[in-house]
Structures are given as structure tokens and as C-alpha cells.
Homo-oligomer: A and B are copies of this chain.
Amino acid sequence: MIIVFKPNATKAQLKHVENYLTSHGFEYHPSQGHENMIYGIIGDTQSLTPEFFKVFDGVSNAFRVQESYKRCSRAFHPRNSIVKVGKISIGGNKIAVMAGPCSIENKDMLNNISKEIVGYGANMIRGGAFKPRSSPYAFQGLGKEGLLYLREVGDRLGIPVVSEIMAIGDIPLFQEYVDVIQIGARNMQNFSLLKELAHVKKPVLLKRGISATVDEWLNSAEYLASKGNQKIMLCERGIRTFEKSTRFTLDLSSVPVIKKKSHLPIIVDPSHPMGERELVIPMARAAIAAGADGIMVEVHNNPDEALSDGAQSLYPKQFNELMKEIEIIAGALGKTIAKN
């Protein structure tokens, strides 16, 4: 961290900062600039915040030189991390395509959709069993029963499955039934849940919070990585902005930004932010063109009857068309779609 003093800072003001630093085990390196005295703090400053020093008398500003996350940073691990899920490897030159219904409604619908989309090239099945709904009156998911159906279809088709967890108490269930545990946007800063999932051996798909900065997102990933779980995939799913023509603003910029700052794979979910299937397709293509390691899209064989988010679910035939387009686009970047 760097502390910049005001041009007219007094000796007493400098002394006050110095005392704080030394009494808390930090060394500092003073450097007299043209107008401003500058202190570089030496040591592990991850527990300090610039805001804290900014209000000391005589201090003009304070900046962090290093990111507060470490294990998830590109500096710590310069090459891309590869996360293995079943037979596919995510984070290299293979594209993951996670598809399936928003909610698992019953066994038959899940089986039918899954069979069709796997035929079109989907390499992972997604399906919600525990649903985070804004309103207490909305359909909350099938729970354990849904996970069971998901496991069955995954085993039968030989395809890994992913589903969202909502509570610490459900971790044993998820360890038994899914291949990838998804942490939803609303739980990205549920630190109690993150701390527990750090001890799980399964890969985790960490969705970005609705208003999380890229740095906060990587700090949440750091909760997992610093305590033992390195098998982390990030998932961009749109942020909240003033624009209301879509449900959220899909921040595809986060794809190259994450690639610059971190070594973790990044998946894009265009279904939730776009809200309408005709808008989902172009953004799925754009995600691959931006360099994402995969996409997660909702597909439903009868969207008009879906119990949640039917409007944004692709028809299977649309999904088939999309697969053909992203294959070409992936090719422009030297990638191919992963196969189980």
C-alpha cells in the first residue's frame, strides 16, 4: 500500500501514521516526492484498507498496489487453470456447453430435454432443484427429488451435471448427486457458505453477484481457494444497471478482464440477464467470441409451460442452430467444443 501525504503535512501527522504502522507490525519506506511525501508500506497489507488511512490528518490519499486476492490472481499462477469435470477439461481450448431447463419440473421433462440437447452437442446438463426466488409465493423447486433425477439422467447419458446449492445443510446432498456445485449470484457473498464449500472436493461454479465488482468476485473465489478448493469456475450472469430493456446487463467485458486478472476459467450465462430467447442467442455467440471458456443456457422442450423463466428458454431446435454457430466462432479463436 502507498500513502501519499498532503504537501503541507506536519511532522506530527507523519509521526502519527508511523506510530500506527510500527505498532501494528508494518515497516514503511518514506520517499520525498516533489510536493508530497510518500510512504510505501512493507509487509502483508491484505488486512489493511486504503480508506482507513485516507482519514488520518495530513494524508492526501492511499492506494493499494497489490490486489487483495492472491491465489486467484494471474500473478500467482500465470498459466490458465484447467478444471476437469468428468471427461471434459474447462479453461483451455475446449468450450463447455452447459444446457438444460431452468427448474427440474419432473423426471420425464428432464430426460426428454437432456437427451435431445446432448444429441446436439451439449456436454454438461444444468437443472435447478433449489430455486432462489424473490417472492416467497413463487415455485421453490423440487429439492432433493430434483437432484436425484439429475443424477440419474447424468449417469444414463454419461454427462456431468451441475445444480445450485442454497444452504450449508444441503452440502452432503450435493456431494452425492452433482458433479459441479453452483453458487448462485445471491450467495456470492454468503461467506458462511463459501467457507464450507472450500472443504468440498467437487468443482464449484461461482456466479457473479448482481452488483459485485470483478474484484469482489475474485475475493469470493479467494475464500474457496485460500481454504483448500482450487477447482473454481467463474460464471458471468449479468449485473444490475439503470438499463431495463433486459433483466440484467450482461457484462461480457468481464471475460477479457478476468482473463487478464486471473487464471480461472470463465463461463457465461446469457439466459438470465437477457430474459427473452431471441436475445439469448446473439449473446451466447458473443460470449464465445469474447473468449469465454463456455456458456450455460436454458433449454426447454415446452417453454410456454415452464414453471420458471420459460420466456428465456431456447427451443431445442434453436439450441441446435446455436451450437453450429458457436462451433464456427470458437474456430476463429482456435477452439473447439468439448466432447465427453
Instruction: Check: A173 CB closer than 8 A to any chain B CB.
Output: no
Contact B310 A52 (CB under 8 A): yes
Give Cα A223 to B275, complex, Å. 24
Instruction: Report the nearest B residue to A187, measured CB to CB.
Output: B190
Instruction: Report the nearest B residue to A8, measured CB to CB.
Output: B75
Give Cα A48 to B65, complex, Å. 20
Give Cα A136 to B322, complex, Å. 40
Q: How far is the CB of A233 from chain B (nearest CB, A)?
A: 18
Instruction: Check: A135 CB closer than 8 A to any chain B CB.
Output: yes
Contact B244 A253 (CB under 8 A): no
Indicate whether A134 sits within 8 Å of B68 (C-beta atoms), given known contacts A38-B2, A279-B256. Answer: yes
Most buried by B among A52, A220, A242, A283: A242
Give Cα A68 to B311, complex, Å. 19
The segment out of A90-98, A149-157, A287-295 that lies at the interface is A287-295
Task: Report B-chain residues with C-beta under 8 Å of the C-beta of A139.
Answer: 47
Interface residues on A, range: 35 or more
Contact B210 A276 (CB under 8 A): no
The segment out of A27-35, A107-115, A121-129, A199-207 that lies at the interface is A27-35
Contact A34 B40 (CB under 8 A): yes
Selected contact of A132 from candidates B69, B191, B305, CB within 8 Å:
B191
Instruction: Check: A250 CB closer than 8 A to any chain B CB.
Output: yes
Contact A211 B213 (CB under 8 A): no
Task: Report B-chain residues with C-beta under 8 Å of the C-beta of A288.
Answer: 289
Give Cα A309 to B310, complex, Å. 38
Indicate whether A215 sits within 8 Å of B245 (C-beta atoms), given known contacts A69-B135, A136-B222, A186-B190. Answer: yes
> C-beta contact mask, A1-12 vs B, less than 8 Å → 1, else 0?
010100000000
Contact B136 A219 (CB under 8 A): yes
Task: Report B-chain residues with C-beta under 8 Å of the C-beta of A190.
Answer: 186-187, 190
Contact B256 A278 (CB under 8 A): yes
> C-beta contact mask, A238-255 vs B, less than 8 Å → 1, else 0?
011111111101111111
Give Cα A222 to B134, complex, Å. 10
Contact B250 A219 (CB under 8 A): no
Instruction: Check: A119 CB closer than 8 A to any chain B CB.
Output: no
Instruction: Check: A56 CB closer than 8 A to any chain B CB.
Output: yes
Task: Report B-chain residues with C-beta under 8 Å of the C-beta of A55.
Answer: 276-277, 310-311
Contact B290 A286 (CB under 8 A): yes
Selected contact of A304 from candidates B56, B213, B257, B311, CB within 8 Å:
B56
Most buried by B among A135, A247, A254, A273: A135
| For the complex of A and B, 7 pairs with smallest distance between CB atoms | A211-B211, A31-B31, A289-B289, A33-B40, A328-B332, A167-B192, A34-B42
15 A–B contacts from the bound complex (CB under 8 Å): A29-B33, A29-B34, A31-B40, A44-B137, A52-B311, A135-B219, A136-B191, A213-B242, A213-B244, A239-B243, A242-B242, A256-B282, A285-B290, A286-B289, A289-B290
> Can you add 6 more A-B contacts, CB < 8 Å, to A2-B2, A252-B252, A328-B331?
A29-B31, A51-B276, A209-B210, A210-B211, A241-B242, A241-B249
